[in-house]
Amino acid sequence: MSGSPYAITDTPVVIEPLPVHRFDEAALQAWLDPRLPDGAAGLEVRQFQGGMSNPTFLLTLPDGTRYVLRKKPPGKLLPRAHAVDREYRVMDALRDTPVPAPRMVAYCDDPDVIGAEFYVMAHLAGRIIPPPAMDPVARADRPALAHALIDTLADLHGVDQTAVGLADFGRPEGYLGRQTARWATQYEGAKSALPADFDYARFDWLRDWLMERAPAAADETSIVHGDFRLGNMVVHPTEPRIIGVLDWELATLGHPLADLAYLCLPWRTPKDLPGGADMAAAGLPSEAEMVARYCARSGRAGIPEWPLFLAFACFRSAAIIQGVAARAAMGNVSSASADPVAFGYRARRIAECGAAIAQEFDAG
């Protein structure tokens, strides 16, 4: 299970739409035509490769103008997953804030147009850098880009949700407890599509530990992204700064430290798994330095329950990957190369990391 699935490049890969994700391009063009400044005649559709959730497509007009379309995947979906309507709403709400978000163009809630709900947004010309260790980035630029990640996250958490029209975007209390219950349900629901001999003992232990501990965590509320990591950023073409935050499918109102812990997972993930790396050897700040910068930017004195948030981040990440494994087994994952056995193994290993963090927390 060694190696990395990440191409060592900062250029997004586009391919012909996979057969399972193809749709009526003429119907899309007709729907988009009155919604674009110069119409949609001659629209070319290509699919971004590498995402595991909502299929994403590059739309190019004859004059070179580019847009991006994201839609729900086909097939039977897990409850409350792939909420493209929420993605559209939160990015549109953030348009006049310090958080860099793509400009929204239009949302379609009619699945009869192309077979699923979708939205269209402006394309941002920049770099997509999936490897957490920032392999394609010049070593001298890596600390600045890591700091830009932290600063962008703190800026997001500083946005007043009421002022931007998102006061009803989620429940303002009990986030960790509710999220633990939600991902426990998703995790259990995915089991039926996977091999019966998978050993879930540590995964189940972590779930039960969090079900007991998470509801007692002190509440805070902000807009949270839910999947805030380098691979979901658009980085400036030449500079170590972020020009766009993508993939808001899991966004809601919740505890900001859950986002921070998720961002710091690569410092805790085993180095032989995707998402894990020797961050110090890559020239990146330490986990403690990242947390300290966030605290300084957000006005915190410290984070006493940091291990709890890390354990939760491991559980949620593992549950998400478990869902990818289940969709791969059912044949409706966005990537052509997803292996359900490999993804299931990865999910269990990350859950084991979370269990180890939890046990260390209990030991004091």
Helix then strand then coil, in percent of the chain rounded to 5, is 40, 10, 45
Q: Could you read off the pLDDT tens digit of each residue along the chain, which spans 364 residues?
A: 223 333 445 667 888 888 888 899 999 999 999 999 999 999 999 998 865 578 999 999 999 999 999 998 765 555 455 689 999 999 999 999 999 999 999 999 999 999 999 999 999 999 999 899 999 999 999 999 999 999 999 999 999 999 999 999 999 889 999 999 999 999 988 888 888 889 999 999 999 999 999 988 888 999 999 999 999 999 999 999 999 999 998 899 999 999 999 999 999 999 988 878 899 999 999 999 999 999 999 999 999 999 999 999 999 999 989 988 888 888 765 555 578 889 999 999 999 999 999 999 988 7
CA–CA distances in Å: residue 313 to residues 40, 258, 271: 42, 7, 17
Task: Specify whether the CB–CB gap between 316 and 183 falls below 8 A.
Answer: yes
pLDDT on residue 8: 46
Lookup: tokens for 235: 């980085």
Nearest to 251, CA basis, from 146, 121, 355, 99: 99
Nearest to 280, CA basis, from 149, 133, 147, 138: 133
**pTM of the predicted model as reported, rounded to 2 decimal places:** 0.86
Lookup: tokens for 66: 């580019």
pLDDT on residue 9: 55
| DSSP string covering 20-35 | GG---HHHHHHHHGGG
Task: Specify whether the CB–CB gap between 306 and 280 falls below 8 A.
Answer: no
pLDDT on residue 287: 97
Hey, what domains does the chain have and what are their CATH numbers?
14-122 (3.30.200.20), 139-363 (3.90.1200.10)
